[in-house]
Amino acid sequence: MLLLDHPLALFVVTFSLLWLAAWIGMVLHSRRRDLAESVREDYGTIVGATLTLLGLLIGFTFSMATTRYDLRKNLEEGEANAIGTEYARLDFLPAADAGQLQGLLRQYTDLRIHFYTTRVPAELRRLNADTERMQNQMWALVAQAAQTQSSPLTALASSGMNDVLNAQGYTQAAWWNRIPIAAWCLMFVIAVLSNLLLGYGMHRSTVVLSVILPLAVSISFFLIADIDSPRGGVIRIHPQNLYALADSLQAGSSISNRVPNEPGASEDH
């Protein structure tokens, strides 16, 4: 649902609908006589049960959102570790193949960083296409090198490349794994009923109090949607492990590209 990818818009829509439900409840109350004492006691029980159910649903949904956020964060760390490990294992391959694959892995790391930071759908589609193309290229090179020089060490390098590709797949699956729409719909229905019942039990003189529950619930929905949305929210996964890996790979590449002085050569003074 597009609205769930824009938590601020969800907050505005939720607050408007819930406050409208509370206002409708107050209007219905004003058109009827006050509830009898026995009926008011049952009414209070229903309101309390409905609010309790709403609180439980919000708590469970918030737990689902934080679990998915932690999973995305852990997978980012795992992806960085897989790339760094494979970069080191490529030294087991012939020098020409290792150098070419290490250069591709540095570019691949930059693509993975952009995957975490971009918010533009068109750019994301381009990144996914470039990622798939580079994965195919890296796998073809490591497979060719393993077939040319078959040994346990080259098999270890091939296994490491497989881990790199799998790590990207796990990450993508975690970003697709969102809170089900049915859970959101159930929360919305219970929230509307809660505000409707609460408004029905209020008088027009307490109209200011009718804003409190819609505001509190809307803030809760905003926070849940913000944590659950990988790209649209304020709280997002910062690829700090991939940033650190990119810096270390770039530094290692710069050191390896330096040409040492020839033996016996002296410096001019």
Which pLDDT score, from 0 to 100, does residue 175 have? 93
Instruction: Answer whether residue 149 is part of any domain.
Output: yes
Instruction: Answer whether residue 41 is part of any domain.
Output: no
Alpha-carbon distance values, 197 to 18, 25, 28, 52, 89 (Å)? 11, 6, 10, 13, 64
Q: Give the number of domains in the chain.
A: 1
Residues 62 and 228: beta-carbon distance below 8 Å: no
Q: Point out the residues of the chain with pLDDT beneath 50.
A: 258-269
Instruction: Answer whether residue 110 is part of any domain.
Output: yes
- Please give the model's pTM, rounded to 2 decimal places: 0.82
Which pLDDT score, from 0 to 100, does residue 60 have? 94
Which pLDDT score, from 0 to 100, does residue 210 have? 75
Which pLDDT score, from 0 to 100, does residue 259 have? 42
How far is residue 199's CA from residue 23's CA, in Å, rounded to a whole number? Answer: 6
Which pLDDT score, from 0 to 100, does residue 262 have? 40
Instruction: Answer whether residue 55 is part of any domain.
Output: no
Tens-place pLDDT, residues 135-160: 999 999 998 888 887 788 888 888 99
Residues 224 and 234: beta-carbon distance below 8 Å: no
Tens-place pLDDT, residues 90-114: 988 888 888 999 999 999 999 999 9
Which pLDDT score, from 0 to 100, does residue 179 have? 93
Which pLDDT score, from 0 to 100, does residue 97 have? 87
Q: Which of 119, 120, 151 is nearest to 231 (CA)?
A: 119
Instruction: Answer whether residue 176 is part of any domain.
Output: yes
Residue 114: give the domain boundaries. 2-32+60-253
Q: Give me the residue label for tokens 């270890």.
A: 156
Q: Which of 29, 54, 28 is nearest to 189 (CA)?
A: 54
Instruction: Answer whether residue 135 is part of any domain.
Output: yes
